[in-house]
DNA sequence: GTCTATATATTGATAGAC
DNA sequence: GTCTATCAATATATAGAC
């Protein structure tokens, strides 16, 4: 999702102008630069040197903030996760009908955003090679799924019929279709119209009622 | 998809034992090694040295077969593409009902296969950074979609009702859900049961009939 | 066509001045 | 905390013997 990638001041925002605030600024600037470089080059090909240059600091300064390239990447992913959760909770709060229209916009925004889809793919690949990070990412997906569940439950109650998928499975399909359509749209924009996600989800919901 | 990654003898298979056959063997062996190393390390972190060592040849020998790391990667992706097309056409030939059950198996096989999903993600990321390769990959997806279309058309005719999605959109959703579920299953196997793809597609088809 | 040896550049990370 | 300078390791790619 097109996450604004906002900084996360740990334990309260330090007063502007203070030494702690300056440190926070470089810290956040490094994460911004990391997002740009990791997205452009990929994790493997990205170099800490270029990240430092992009952030406008020296190589050595990076190691005063992070243990190394890996730690920097993990910190970046952490920041994106909390931003994505905030974003999701804000947009899902109003119930499913309003959310459906919103989700369409999130598909296109995520696909058309320069870095979001790229970094998500980098994160998934990193997770495939680092079991610990994989567990973190899976837990994050679980939380997203959990946030989706109340809306699905309410919709099922509203329609008052038995479904051929469990609520959790519906949430999984919704999440899977989301990332799948984002990647397809990114590859060939014309093949994924802006409202396809919403229409597909509606058809799915209509078809879930078991037929006898 | 769990593509066997078979060699592609250009212009007919050379006689076994001939010099051309020996060349073909190393060529194919290099592609096999490339598949293993690119999947394990990722494109950026993979080194031609390790690929050579895995294939049991020297670094210099790689450059007698390929122009470099990039060319090797592209050749590998090319081989996987023709194998995937063969595979898809073979399994889709019998019509949709038989294909549906088969598709379920393809989701689990692709997700559980060691390299297929990894290399697919690497290919997508590479495509995001190389427009030419991106066009190739998009064209490949288009061919897959085209192969899916007859089955969808037949199913719509069988059900004899208007649909809220075009046939092409249904194909896109089917492809998108496929890759999305594969990635989710790879991350958290329990969240994606083996038959979820088929059940979701069935529900989608049931719900496509417009309601008035 | 395959090998060994090597040229050249870049990498992640560290040391020490300020 | 940020800098400059530098380390050792590794990268891609090439040259030349066989």
Answer yes or no: do B4 and B41 share one domain. Answer: yes
- Asked whether residue B81 is assigned to any structural domain, the reply reads no
Q: Which of residues 106-125 of A touch strand D (CB under 7 A)?
A: none
Answer yes or no: do A187 and A109 share one domain. Answer: yes
Answer yes or no: do B194 and B155 share one domain. Answer: yes
- Asked whether residue B87 is assigned to any structural domain, the reply reads no
Report if CB B67 to strand C is under 7 Å. no
Answer yes or no: do A187 and A108 share one domain. Answer: yes
- Using DSSP's 3-state secondary structure scheme, residue B12 falls into coil
Answer yes or no: do A128 and A177 share one domain. Answer: yes
Answer yes or no: do B98 and B138 share one domain. Answer: yes
Residue–nucleotide distance: B55 CA to C4 C1' (Å): 17
- Asked whether residue A167 is assigned to any structural domain, the reply reads yes
Of A52-56, B77-81, B201-205, B207-211, the poorest mean pLDDT is in: B207-211
- Asked whether residue B83 is assigned to any structural domain, the reply reads no
Report if CB B50 to strand D is under 7 Å. yes
- Asked whether residue A84 is assigned to any structural domain, the reply reads no
- B198: CATH: 1.10.357
Answer yes or no: do A119 and A205 share one domain. Answer: yes
Angle at A116 between CA A110 and CA A118, to 5 degrees: 115
- Residue numbers of A between 43 and 62 with CB closer than 8 Å to B: 43-46
- A211: CATH: 1.10.357.10
Least Cα separation, residue B204 to chain A (angstroms): 4
Number of domains present in the structure of chain B: 2
Distances (CA, A) of B88 to A16, A66, B124, B185, B186: 60, 46, 19, 21, 21
Least Cα separation, residue A23 to chain B (angstroms): 31
Q: Which of B45, B134, B200 sits opposite A44 (nearest CB)?
A: B45
Answer yes or no: do B109 and B18 share one domain. Answer: no
* Domain boundary pick from B76, B111, B131: B76
* Per-residue pLDDT at B9: 52
Answer yes or no: do B118 and B211 share one domain. Answer: yes
- Residue numbers of B between 103 and 122 with CB closer than 8 Å to A: 117-118, 121-122
* C-alpha closest to that of B195 among B90, B117, B107: B107
- Asked whether residue A81 is assigned to any structural domain, the reply reads no
* Per-residue pLDDT at A12: 55
Q: Which of residues 29-88 of A touch strand D (CB under 7 A)?
A: 56-61, 64-65
DSSP states of A146-183 as a string?
Answer: HHHHHHHHHHHHHHTS-BSS-HHHHHHHHHHHHHHHHH
A172 to B181: CB separation less than 8 angstroms, yes or no: yes
Helix (H) or strand (E) segment spanning residue A143 = helix A131-159
- A10: CATH: 1.10.10.60
Tokens of A183: 């990647």
Query: What are residue A163's phi and psi, to 5 degrees?
Result: -115, 150
Of A6-10, A21-25, A53-57, B21-25, the poorest mean pLDDT is in: A6-10
Of A10 and A164, the structure prediction assigns the larger pLDDT to A164
pLDDT mean across residues, chain A: 92
Instruction: Point out the nucleotide closest to A48 (alpha carbon to C1′).
Output: C12
Report if CB A133 to strand C is under 7 Å. no
Beta bridge partners of B163: B209
Answer yes or no: do B114 and B204 share one domain. Answer: yes
Of A23-27, A147-151, B135-139, B164-168, the poorest mean pLDDT is in: A23-27
pLDDT greater than 90 at residue B117: yes
* Domain boundary pick from B47, B76, B105: B76
* Domain boundary pick from A16, A43, A76: A76
Of A204 and A13, the structure prediction assigns the larger pLDDT to A204
Averaged pLDDT for residues B178-190: 98
pLDDT tens for B7-52 read 545 555 666 667 788 888 999 999 999 999 999 999 999 999 999 9
Distance spanning both ends of chain A, measured CA to CA: 39
Tokens of A107: 């598909």
- Asked whether residue B133 is assigned to any structural domain, the reply reads yes
Structural domain including A121 reads 94-212
Answer yes or no: do B104 and B207 share one domain. Answer: yes
Answer yes or no: do A126 and A202 share one domain. Answer: yes
Interface membership of A165 toward B (CB under 8 Å): yes
Tokens of A189: 């924009």
């Amino acid at each position: 999702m097109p996450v604004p990638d906002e900084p996360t001041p740990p334990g309260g925002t330090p007063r502007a102008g203070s030494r702690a605030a300056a440190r926070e600024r470089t810290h956040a600037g490094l994460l911004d630069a990391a997002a740009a470089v990791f997205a452009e080059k990929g994790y493997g090909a990205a170099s800490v040197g270029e990240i430092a240059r992009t952030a406008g600091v020296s190589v050595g300064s990076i190691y005063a903030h992070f243990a190394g390239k890996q730690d920097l990447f993990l910190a970046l992913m952490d920041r994106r996760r909390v931003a994505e959760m905030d974003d999701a909770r804000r947009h899902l709060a109003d119930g499913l009908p309003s959310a459906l229209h919103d989700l369409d916009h999130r598909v296109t925004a995520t696909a058309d955003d320069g870095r979001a889809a790229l970094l998500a793919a980098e994160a998934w690949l990193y997770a495939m090679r680092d079991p610990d990070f994989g567990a973190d990412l899976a837990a994050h997906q679980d939380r997203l799924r959990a946030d989706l569940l109340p809306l699905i439950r309410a919709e099922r109650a509203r329609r008052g019929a038995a479904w051929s998928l469990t609520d959790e499975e519906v949430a999984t399909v919704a999440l899977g279709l989301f990332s799948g359509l984002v990647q397809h749209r990114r590859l060939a924009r014309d093949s994924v119209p802006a409202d396809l996600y919403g229409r597909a989800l509606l058809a799915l919901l209509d078809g879930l009622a078991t037929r006898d």
